[in-house]
Amino acid sequence: MSIHLEPQTGCALKVAAGETLRVTSPTGGQVADLTAFAAADLGEWLSSGRTIDYGGTILVTTGSVLYSNRSTPMLTITADTAGRHDFLISPCSAEMFERLYGSAGHPSCFTNLATHLARFGIHGDRIPTTLNLFMVVTVDPGDGHITIEAPSCAAGDHVDLRAEIDLVVGVTACSAELTNQGVFGPIAVEVVAELAG
Ligand SMILES: [Zn+2]
């Protein structure tokens, strides 16, 4: 299964336990926000806080296990050609663009996720902090100030995430100018039963 996300769009799909989700930036320089819910109980969702706590780091890459709010392993990153992602910041939203930039009615990852996850019975209010693939956020060790840098990915860079339980997953091609250096690209989403290596 393969989905091509046009710039500033999103999708939601089911990924079965054992299947691998591959998220690719075909053109490079494009962030993709990802969230996940347990298909068997939508009250269980991908937790930034649990993942950071159990991994002992704010950075995830190959080998990282991504946990739910109930401490269940939901996904394992099995490959990562970009190497740097963010798991601190909420998906961009219409409210964020209005509050930070005074821009009304801006396309956003939140709206795209909420729109597509609604098909699976997931309301926008339940969308947690997303795993922002290819997004580079640096944290000042002194005052904690965050800076959004250029995305980590070159053309063709991808992340493979193996589902550890049956999931409903949402993915976007991020809509934020700052996050993507002002240039919006597509995102490719593939589900494969098994990936070598
Ligand atoms: Zn976004």
194 confidence band (pLDDT: 50, 70, 90): low
What does the chain come to in residues?
197
195 confidence band (pLDDT: 50, 70, 90): low
Q: What is the mean pLDDT of residues 21-45?
A: 98
Q: How far is the CA of 179 from the centre of ligand 1 (A)?
A: 8
Q: How far is the CA of 174 from the centre of ligand 1 (A)?
A: 4
Q: How far is the CA of 5 from the centre of ligand 1 (A)?
A: 13
For residue 6 the two structure tokens come to 């046009």
Residue 13's CB: how many other CB atoms inside 10 A? 17
In terms of DSSP H, where are the helices of the chain?
48-55, 94-101, 109-117
Structure confidence at residue 193 (pLDDT): 80
Mean pLDDT, the chain, rounded, equals 96
Q: How far is the CA of 94 from the centre of ligand 1 (A)?
A: 10
Q: How far is the CA of 95 from the centre of ligand 1 (A)?
A: 12
Please give the model's pTM, rounded to 2 decimal places.
0.96
Q: How far is the CA of 196 from the centre of ligand 1 (A)?
A: 31
User: What is the C-alpha separation between 23 and 94, in angstroms, rounded?
Assistant: 24
pLDDT tops 70 at residue 196: no
User: What is the C-alpha separation between 78 and 123, in angstroms, rounded?
Assistant: 29
Radius of gyration of the chain (CA): 15
Q: How far is the CA of 33 from the centre of ligand 1 (A)?
A: 6
Tell me which residues have their CB within 5 A of the ion that is ligand 1: 92, 109, 174-176
> Mapped to the 3 state alphabet, what secondary structure does 67-90 carry?
EECCCCEEEEEEEECCCCCECCCC
Q: What is the mean pLDDT of residues 6-14?
A: 98
Q: Which residues, in sequence order, are CB contacts of 21 under 8 Å at separation 6+?
A: 15, 75, 160, 161, 162, 163, 169, 171, 189, 190, 191
Per-residue pLDDT tens over the stretch 118-143: 999 999 999 999 999 999 999 999 99
Q: How far is the CA of 70 from the centre of ligand 1 (A)?
A: 26
**118 closest CA partner among 80, 170, 60, 52:** 170
User: What is the C-alpha separation between 171 and 25, in angstroms, rounded?
Assistant: 12
For residue 122 the two structure tokens come to 């997931």
Per-residue pLDDT tens over the stretch 59-89: 999 999 999 999 999 999 999 999 999 999 9
Of all residues in the chain, the percent with pLDDT exceeding 70 is 98
**131 closest CA partner among 60, 69, 78, 64:** 60
Q: How far is the CA of 182 from the centre of ligand 1 (A)?
A: 12
